[in-house]
């Protein structure tokens, strides 16, 4: 999570609690075509600006994004401020509520995946990426909940990693980085490989929590790992936020903010690092498994330029630039981040990083006003990657089908067409349209042929 933690910026999810109240002023969001991404009520009166008319490019992009977000639903025109028959000069910038960064109770959020989907839907979100820390365990529940609402789920995950400065930069210490991964609706191409990787990180979190507790014990605040795990919830790998909650619960600190500002901040007296992989290895893994990689909250990094350069070399696709208040804290302004994104030809994305804390200052799910052109560019990059992942999934399954054919119950799947029909009819694959299904059928036919 974004932060301006007391002892230097931090990227951990947990210091959201520190960050929420400590937003440094900075320039507004960067995109030239995005005049008012901020919803910072109160402090400064928003300048009244005449909304400019959307460009043709924006209108077209919005249409395409909506078609993807709500396949088969002709809500597009009704929902469109620029609908041709509107008659009035009702000029609105094209928007589609897309939330690309949100957590559920499957990591350190408070809402269940289903509750998160409900809330996102209530807030007008049309596309929601569930990005729990180091786990995709909440995705099936979110997808199930989304069937009751016109909302598309992007299976995602926010992966914990570290950046070690390379010898050329030489400056600064290791720092944590979080990398968001976005998969297509069929999930990662090699789910086992990804899951093993994530499981390794989750195990490291238990060791890390233990180390933090040892340090806190040495500081006169004895607590048990089982208490922290109880707070984290069933099967949820504990993080700093859970340790902080345990500290509040035990009465060692007044609130979460104090737990972080006194003990748990990066490099603090009770801070411990986990056994996280390098950022580069995470980016490579996500690319290998058919996902899109985006660096989370780079404004919280001490050395964003070096991190972004290294990760780009590993295959990074984008960075977060937008946040709900249109401002950034930390070492670099949003304009600076936008420039970095331009330099390295990276997508400019963002999300609320919603955790469902009991904190009025926390941005709500869906509160980031992501320009529709950013979403469009994201899809341009993502779709071929996701389609390739689907091809790989098909290839893997059809290979197994071929292997099994003749031995037992797979006889009924005798051709790629049958396989597709079976798969497409039972899985509600959320593909964008009939033509894509057709293309897929052809591709799968190719795959199956080459495997026979």
Rule CB under 5 A: choose which of 15, 353, 369, 443 binds Zn ion: 353
Spatial separation of the C-alpha atoms in residues 39 and 247, rounded to whole Å: 33
Shortest separation between residue 219's beta carbon and Zn ion, angstroms: 26
Contacts (Cβ under 8 Å, ≥6 apart) of 185 = 143, 152, 153, 154, 155, 386, 429, 430, 431
DSSP H or E run through 160: strand 152-163
Which residue stretch of 7-15, 54-62, 138-146, 299-307 sits at the interface with Zn ion (rule: CB under 5 A)? 7-15
**Partner residues linked to 99 by β-bridges:** 128
Site residues for Zn ion, window 165-204 (CB under 5 A)?
178
Shortest separation between residue 108's beta carbon and Zn ion, angstroms: 9
- Residue 370 DSSP symbol: -
SS3 408: coil
126-152 core/surface letters (b: 16 or more CB in 10 A; e: else): bbbbbbbbbbbbbbebbbebbeeeebb
Q: Given the complex with Zn ion, which of 13 and 369 has the nearer CB atom? A: 13
Q: Does 99 bind Zn ion (CB under 5 A)?
A: no
By CB under 5 A, the count of residues binding Zn ion is 6
Shortest separation between residue 45's beta carbon and Zn ion, angstroms: 31
Q: Given the complex with Zn ion, which of 13 and 276 has the nearer CB atom? A: 13
Q: Given the complex with Zn ion, which of 189 and 365 has the nearer CB atom? A: 365
Shortest separation between residue 105's beta carbon and Zn ion, angstroms: 14
Shortest separation between residue 59's beta carbon and Zn ion, angstroms: 32
Which residue stretch of 217-225, 277-285, 346-354, 402-410 sits at the interface with Zn ion (rule: CB under 5 A)? 346-354
Which residue stretch of 13-21, 142-150, 364-372, 425-433 sits at the interface with Zn ion (rule: CB under 5 A)? 13-21
Opening angle at CA 372, ends 49 and 1, nearest 5: 90
SS3 135: coil
Q: Given the complex with Zn ion, which of 54 and 330 has the nearer CB atom? A: 330
Rule CB under 5 A: choose which of 270, 294, 296, 368 binds Zn ion: 296
Asked if residues 445 and 417 have their Cβ atoms less than 8 Å apart, the reply is yes
Shortest separation between residue 140's beta carbon and Zn ion, angstroms: 20
Q: Does 443 bind Zn ion (CB under 5 A)?
A: no
Structure tokens at 62: 């919005």
Shortest separation between residue 109's beta carbon and Zn ion, angstroms: 9
For the chain, give the number of residues: 452
Shortest separation between residue 345's beta carbon and Zn ion, angstroms: 23
Spatial separation of the C-alpha atoms in residues 324 and 207, rounded to whole Å: 34
Residue number of the CB atom closest to Zn ion: 178
Asked if residues 208 and 272 have their Cβ atoms less than 8 Å apart, the reply is yes
CA-CA distances (angstroms) from residue 352 to 4, 114, 409, 441?
16, 18, 47, 37
DSSP H or E run through 77: helix 75-78
SS3 134: coil
Asked if residues 324 and 41 have their Cβ atoms less than 8 Å apart, the reply is no
Q: Given the complex with Zn ion, which of 299 and 378 has the nearer CB atom? A: 299
- Residue 104 DSSP symbol: -
Q: Given the complex with Zn ion, which of 29 and 296 has the nearer CB atom? A: 296
Shortest separation between residue 245's beta carbon and Zn ion, angstroms: 17
Shortest separation between residue 348's beta carbon and Zn ion, angstroms: 17
Q: Does 13 bind Zn ion (CB under 5 A)?
A: yes
Which residue stretch of 33-41, 352-360, 408-416, 422-430 sits at the interface with Zn ion (rule: CB under 5 A)? 352-360
Q: Given the complex with Zn ion, which of 280 and 320 has the nearer CB atom? A: 320
Structure tokens at 69: 């977000």
Contact residues: Zn ion, CB under 5 A? 1, 13, 158, 178, 296, 353
């Amino acid at each position: 999570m974004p932060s301006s933690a007391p002892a230097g910026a931090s990227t951990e999810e947990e210091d959201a609690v520190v960050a929420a109240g400590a937003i440094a002023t900075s320039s507004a969001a960067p995109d030239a075509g995005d005049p008012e991404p901020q919803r910072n009520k109160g402090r400064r009166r928003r300048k009244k600006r005449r909304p400019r008319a959307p460009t043709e490019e924006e209108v077209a992009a919005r249409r395409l994004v909506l078609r993807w977000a709500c396949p088969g639903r002709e809500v597009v025109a009704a929902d469109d401020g620029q609908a041709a028959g509107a008659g009035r000069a009702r000029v609105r910038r094209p928007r589609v509520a897309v939330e690309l960064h949100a957590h559920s109770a499957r990591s350190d959020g408070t809402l269940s995946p289903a509750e998160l989907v409900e809330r996102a839907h209530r807030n007008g979100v049309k596309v929601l990426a569930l990005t729990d820390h180091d786990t995709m365990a909440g995705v099936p529940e979110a997808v199930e909940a989304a069937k009751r609402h016109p909302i598309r789920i992007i299976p995602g995950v926010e992966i914990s990693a570290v950046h070690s400065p390379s010898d050329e930069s030489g400056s600064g210490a290791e720092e944590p980085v979080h990398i968001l991964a976005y998969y297509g609706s069929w999930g990662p191409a090699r789910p086992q490989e990804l899951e093993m990787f994530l499981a390794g990180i989750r195990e490291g979190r238990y060791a890390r929590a233990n180390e933090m507790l040892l340090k806190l014990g040495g500081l006169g605040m004895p607590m048990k790992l089982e208490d922290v795990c109880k707070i984290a919830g069933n099967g949820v790998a504990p993080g700093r936020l859970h340790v902080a909650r345990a500290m509040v619960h035990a009465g060692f600190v007044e609130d979460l903010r104090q737990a972080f500002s006194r003990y748990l901040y990066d490099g603090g007296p009770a801070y411990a690092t986990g056994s996280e992989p390098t950022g580069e290895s995470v980016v490579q893994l996500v690319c290998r498994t058919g996902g899109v990689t985006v660096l989370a909250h780079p404004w919280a990094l001490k050395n964003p330029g070096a991190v972004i350069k290294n990760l780009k070399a590993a295959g990074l696709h984008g960075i977060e630039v937008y946040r709900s208040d249109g401002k950034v804290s930390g070492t670099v302004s949003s304009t600076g981040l936008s420039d970095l994104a331009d330099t390295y030809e990276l997508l400019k994305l963002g999300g609320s990083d919603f955790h469902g804390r009991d904190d009025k200052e926390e941005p709500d799910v869906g509160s980031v006003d992501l320009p529709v052109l950013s979403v469009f560019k994201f899809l341009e990059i993502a779709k071929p990657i996701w389609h390739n992942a689907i091809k790989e999934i098909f290839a893997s399954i059809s290979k197994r089908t071929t292997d099994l054919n003749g031995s037992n119950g797979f006889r009924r799947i005798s051709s790629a067409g049958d396989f597709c029909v079976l798969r497409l009819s039972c899985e509600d694959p959320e593909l964008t349209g009939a033509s894509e299904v057709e293309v897929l059928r052809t591709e799968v036919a190719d795959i199956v042929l080459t495997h026979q």
